Chains A and B, each alone.
Chain A
Amino acid sequence: MAGKAQKEISGGMGQPQAHDSAKLHVSGEAVYTDDIREPAGCLHACILKSPHAHAKIKSIDVSACAIPGVHAVMTAKDIPGANEVAPVFAGDPVFATDEVFYAGQSVLAVAAESIGIARKAAHLAKIEYEELPAILNVHDAMRSEKYVGDPYVMQQGDSAAGLSGAQHKISGALDIGGQDHFYLEGQIAMATPQENGEMHCWSSTQHPSEVQHLIAKVLGIRDHLVTVDVRRMGGGFGGKESQASLIACVAALLANKTGRPVKLRLDRDDDMIMTGKRHDFNIRYDVGFDDTGLIAGIEFTQASNCGMSADLSNAIADRAMFHADNCYFLENAKVTSYRCFTHKVSNTAFRGFGGPQGMLAMEYVIDDIARKLGKDPLEVRKVNLYDAKGALKNRCTTHYGMTVEDNIIRDIFAEIEKTGDYAARVKQARDFNAKSPVLKKGIALTPVKFGISFTLTMLNQAGALVHVYKDGTVQLNHGGTEMGQGLHTKVCQVVADEFQIDISDVRITATSTGKVPNTSATAASSGSDLNGMAAQAAARTIKQRLVSFAAQHFNCAEIAVSFHGGMVTAGEETMSFAQMVSLAYVNRVSLSSTGFYSTPKIDWDRPKAKGRPFFYFAYGAAISEVIVDTLTGEYNILRTDILHDAGRALNPAIDIGQVEGGFVQGTGWLTSEELWWNEKGELKTHAPSTYKIPTGRDIPKDFRVALFENENSEQTIYRSKAVGEPPLMLGISVFLALRDAVAACGPEGCLPPLQAPATPENVLKAVQAVRKS
């Protein structure tokens, strides 16, 4: 090959390859679950919701539901298997039995010839309730010690001693609101009974394996009788990790009962009322520090609103604790977590999985310290950062005993301070505020350090299945699901790169429990880390077979066989990949393989609250500048600079998309997205008319996003880093910039009591508070 220029394949690793479905998205041809052509005789289902937050069910009479067009009505007693769709700990019934635990809980379901008939029929059921007192917030739950899991503590050093000996002390508390996922495609499933007791289900889920297992469980059949497929979701964000199960199971139950296909699609209101959200938290803190801002001791008490069941709340609350440090070394720290039970919808996974709440409180504390000392918050941040990679001082251990080995935040700070012109803009904002009585500017630079791995070690495994066909094309499957994050594109890039063929020769098909079994949810940002490695392993197995075959066939050393630019060279011979594959086929070489990956190095001892829960950390930082109208609390983001660590980016275009989208979603969580329940525990913000996610006009006027050039120090796929969740927490910069602007209305050293979300109302409230102080 010497002297001959090698052709580069299109769509290899590191290229800004377009999303594999982009052309289908823009033409409207991409098929989502509701777009699949319904089989003949398909019925439509509707779930009847509980109107009460807490009540005894005295009787259920469904006789009136049998109007023309209705084929089945189901209540708890009609379930052939278990009345349970919980992911881990029991407590999430398909249908309520004798008590309802939140307004919106599923009580019964109807299958009918149209959704209109099903809806009408469901509401004809006569249900007698006896209302009971309800616990609707974490404070009441804490008072009555109602929890969905045991309180849990992580600590290092002696926080009490650190606090008592400190020069300065601050105690405070922060309310942090929840967040609705607001995936544009609502929850949906379509189940079709098959021969011999089998059930097939199309489900919009991040966790097809769990949906499969739960369908089997509610039907009282074995797992091998159920197949769950998902081609793509119209957004997930964690909201379809455990929450898709109820929908799929109800569809399957009704399909089983009627013998007909059943589609269940929640409309937007039912979706928002019935399914879990990001946990709202109340976090109290006590911090002691010296004149430089160095933290001597700190204690956090995190109370999370888990709702009426455990769902994934214990893991989420754990992750909030893991991120209580963010980027800072906490020599003497104690983090206590209470997982509060309330009579509300069971809160669930949402991008960041508790991490954002824990991290926000830490950044709020840093902000407090800086304000109290009259210092720039960035200075206080720097004083407290974990030592850089390779530093000699041992300020690298987290409060859960993991050594931070890969810290690059100092380098990121150095770069973004310069490119974002931080110091000069802080001064400009101060000068502006001195002259502007109504409008005030605020600015904040905040970092992110986010741990990558499922903290339940068992889940860090993945499988893939790769088929090479005789014409040299490849079909690929892996356990991950596509929800818009570009996972399928990235995994195709891995396989194309491995075989050195154009990405157009690699086709990924719907995720199916029939192809890759026992998968973990596509969650925890782990999609490409896990499935990319599994797919690579599968491709390498096939490739090794081809190498061995070619070496033997062409009588050369294995090392003389190479794949490049769509070609394979074996000794003196060079042929196309397709020719080589065809030759291998003729010579009876297997062209299909599974691949498997399990994350190395991780080891978490939960009872001891010590160990290494994470394979590595992903980092990033953002500077946001805002302007606030102090007469109304309205505000605007003037500029945001982001420098984010995606390792060696597997696909820089997709990664930038994750960073920008995550930032805007995180900003929405902390600004306009307010969930509002009335005194009866009914959610009143259950549609976009009342629940306000950001629009195009809400993003920073000047938005500068870059990836930090580096590579993962751990051996991940292509040395890339997970990028799904970490950027969400860059939105904290907006929240603290708002707090900075509010502080400009009060005396030097004031601590604005800004609560999250910082709606205009909450901003104005904080402005009024500091004006009084």
Chain B
Amino acid sequence: MTDKITFLLNGERVTVEGLPPTTTLLQYLRERKRMTGTKEGCAEGDCGACTVAVGSLHGGKTGYKSLNACIALLPTLDGREVITVEHLKSKTGAPNAVQKAMVDCHASQCGFCTPGFVMSLSTLLHNKKQPDGEDVQDAIAGNLCRCTGYRPILDAAHQAAQSEDNAMAVSPDVLKELARGKMFRYETPEGKFFAPVTVEELAGVLAEYPDATMLAGGTDVGLWVTKFHMDLPVIVYTANISALREIKKTDAGLEIGAAASYADAFAALADYDASMETLLRRFASVQIRNAGTVGGNIANGSPIGDGPPPLIVLGARITLRSKSGARELPLEDFFLEYKKQDRQPGEFLEKIFVPEKPQTVLFKTYKLSKRFDQDISAVCAAYALDVQGGKIVAARIAHGGMAGTPQRASETEAFLQGRDWNEETVRGAQALLEKDYRPMTDMRASAQYRMDAAKGLLYRFFLETTAPEAQTQVYGYGG
């Protein structure tokens, strides 16, 4: 017996049955509802032309976030509220402040990306009254425009922010009525979709379907559908499990539920260390961070995920759970080899624990890519050096993009151990990176560049930890 997908679409309750579970929200909007304001530009969450606002109820509170409809599977919308560009005008047909400002500022040319920008900015202004320049840049980092050069769009954002009322017409109370309080099951001849709400339900479903596809934010799995056209017979969706979304700060450290989105974890991680904030700002886009989870970024085992390198050097441990119990292991041990992780059938990633770092630990993490925003790393580096009295007593260094998995630099670490943290040491350490890694050449970077840049980043780390007045980064330079 299948449940029907039930959600609010532009204020109206809609129910869906019979559509395959891998139907995307974008397909549903355009093909079924003929709401064609939401566009497909890339079908991989990288251009933002399909941006919609989605309201979710978590812990009794409703939050509205921008999401990419192109990779959002329709059953994940159950119990949520979707707002598209068609819903922004007032009842009398007047444009909202963002729409008006976009016209006033000549911020559309071909217009194809425009609804996506309008949605990103309308969601920003719904949530934040007085956004600053960085807020605006963050909000549109996942929206590509090929015509305008962005200047008029940025102007429009700031003009719209001056408006008194920037709230979108939403229905948080109706949303509360839609909450199921128990597992959502959706089934068609093409496949099954389960959205448990407790850890126990999740363990039970996975025991029954150990080969199920685990779906959290869908920023990767969505592409298996839209790009690789894979059939996914059983999907288990984890993002409705409140217990897996919790973020707890204790004296011992930071505990992050595996299904916490990067957007939700952003503040806690930024608070943990300022260096994390810069990394996270470069990490994907707002739309993707709103969906993508800390756990998914680990569990998919990508060699180029930006979460693992800093978490590894900070000594993070993860908990894997199944119906038969839980086990904990250091994060780095989870990655066995390229695309192979230490996860047994029926197991799921429950949480990540990041221990509080001692005062004496120097920690930094850096990301390097062709473009600042929404780009996958050529190299992601992280360093945790425990320096006491000028001497290195413990060293942990990890990189993404340098090997088949996120990997520590064991030779380099051994070299650093016990040495003074000075120019000579860092030069020696740079050379040893060549022993630790044999990076590959692909479209993101050559092997040579990855190695050279990793050396450069290590030197940047040295400068920033020994000569804090040195200017070492171009982003944010000059305010």
Contacts and interface: CB of A to CB of B under 8 A. Distances in A.
Nearest to B458: A631
Given A695-B373, A697-B373, A684 B443 contact: yes
A725 interface: no
Interface residues of B, number: 86
Contacts of B140: 695-696
Contacts of A34: 30, 36, 39-40
Interface string B354-370: 00000000000000111
Interface in A618-667: 627-629, 631-636, 638, 653-654, 656-657, 660-665
A565 interface: no
Nearest to B111: A25
A768 B146 CA distance: 33
A695 B47 CA distance: 10
B110 A184 contact: yes
B376 A25 contact: no
A184 B113 contact: yes
Contacts of A25: 102, 108, 111, 114-115
Contacts of A587: none
Contacts of A267: 43
A32 interface: yes
Interface stretch (A150-158, A506-514, A685-693): A685-693
Contact of B41 (A268, A629, A692): A268
Given A183-B110, A269-B227, A695-B141, A688 B47 contact: yes
Given A23-B95, A27-B99, A438-B460, A698 B372 contact: yes
A486 B118 contact: no
A541 interface: no
Contacts of A665: 146, 149
Interface stretch (B244-252, B270-278, B290-298, B448-456): B448-456
A211 interface: no
Nearest to A116: B229
Interface in B392-417: none
A196 interface: no
Contacts of B463: 438
Given A268-B43, A268-B44, A693 B146 contact: yes
Contacts of A234: 39, 110-113
Given A18-B106, A28-B84, A698-B372, A627 B474 contact: yes
Contacts of B41: 184-186, 268, 688
A344 interface: no
B37 A28 contact: yes
Nearest to B103: A22
B391 interface: no
Interface of A is mostly: loop
Contact of A237 (B36, B43, B146, B150): B146
Contact of B102 (A26, A436, A689, A695): A26
Contact of B460 (A436, A632, A654): A632
Nearest to B452: A764
Interface in A405-436: 436
A638 B478 contact: yes
Interface in B419-473: 442-446, 449, 452-453, 456-457, 459-460, 463, 470-473
Contacts of A693: 144, 146
A614 B445 CA distance: 42
Contacts of B460: 438, 629, 631-632
Contacts of B185: none
Given A631-B460, A697-B141, A21 B111 contact: yes
B474 A484 contact: no
Contacts of B110: 183-185, 232-236, 483-484
A694 B474 CA distance: 16
Contact of B150 (A674, A699, A760, A761): A699
Interface stretch (B59-67, B85-93, B192-200): B85-93
A30 interface: yes
Interface stretch (B151-159, B176-184, B204-212, B306-314): B151-159
Nearest to B463: A438
B378 interface: yes
A67 B452 CA distance: 52
A306 to B, nearest CB: 23
A576 interface: no
Contacts of B336: none
A35 B152 CA distance: 26
Interface in B229-246: 229
Q: With a 10 A CB-CB cut-off, give which of A24, A634, A693, A705 has the most chain B CB atoms.
A: A634
Given A660-B149, A761-B378, A439 B474 contact: yes
A764 B456 CA distance: 10
Interface in A2-40: 16, 18-19, 21-32, 34-35, 37
A695 B374 CA distance: 9
B36 A699 contact: no
B372 A654 contact: no
Contacts of A29: 37
Q: With a 10 A CB-CB cut-off, give which of B95, B146, B472 has the most chain A CB atoms.
A: B146
Contact of A184 (B43, B47, B375, B445): B47
Contact of B109 (A629, A657, A765): A657
Contacts of A486: 109
Nearest to B36: A35
A294 to B, nearest CB: 36
Nearest to B374: A695
Nearest to A16: B106
Interface in B126-147: 136-137, 140-141, 143-147
B148 interface: yes
B95 A694 contact: no
Q: With a 10 A CB-CB cut-off, give which of B88, B109, B114 has the most chain A CB atoms.
A: B109
B36 A28 contact: yes
Given A25-B108, A660-B148, A703-B151, A685 B452 contact: no
B106 A632 contact: no
Q: With a 10 A CB-CB cut-off, give which of B37, B108, B143, B474 has the most chain A CB atoms.
A: B474
Contacts of B84: 28
Contacts of A437: 470
Interface in A473-514: 483-486
B114 A26 contact: yes
A438 B471 contact: yes
A631 B144 CA distance: 28
B464 to A, nearest CB: 10
A657 B148 contact: yes
Contacts of B153: 696
Nearest to A759: B370
Given A438-B470, A635-B474, A697-B373, A685 B443 contact: yes
Given A35-B36, A632-B460, A761-B446, A22 B106 contact: yes
Contact of A631 (B39, B102, B459): B459
A632 B111 contact: no
A695 B112 contact: no
B196 to A, nearest CB: 28
A213 interface: no
A26 B146 contact: no
B326 interface: no
Given A184-B110, A764-B449, A27 B477 contact: no
Q: Nearest 9 CB-CB pairs, A to B?
A: A28-B37, A484-B110, A234-B112, A25-B111, A631-B456, A664-B149, A484-B109, A688-B46, A660-B149
26 contacts: A19-B108, A23-B103, A25-B102, A26-B98, A26-B100, A26-B102, A27-B37, A29-B37, A182-B146, A184-B144, A186-B41, A234-B110, A235-B110, A235-B112, A629-B472, A631-B457, A638-B478, A657-B152, A661-B146, A672-B370, A688-B46, A695-B144, A695-B150, A696-B150, A699-B150, A761-B453
Given A660-B151, A761-B445, 17 more contacts: A22-B103, A28-B85, A32-B112, A34-B36, A34-B40, A439-B474, A638-B477, A638-B478, A660-B149, A661-B148, A674-B370, A684-B443, A688-B42, A688-B47, A696-B143, A760-B378, A768-B452
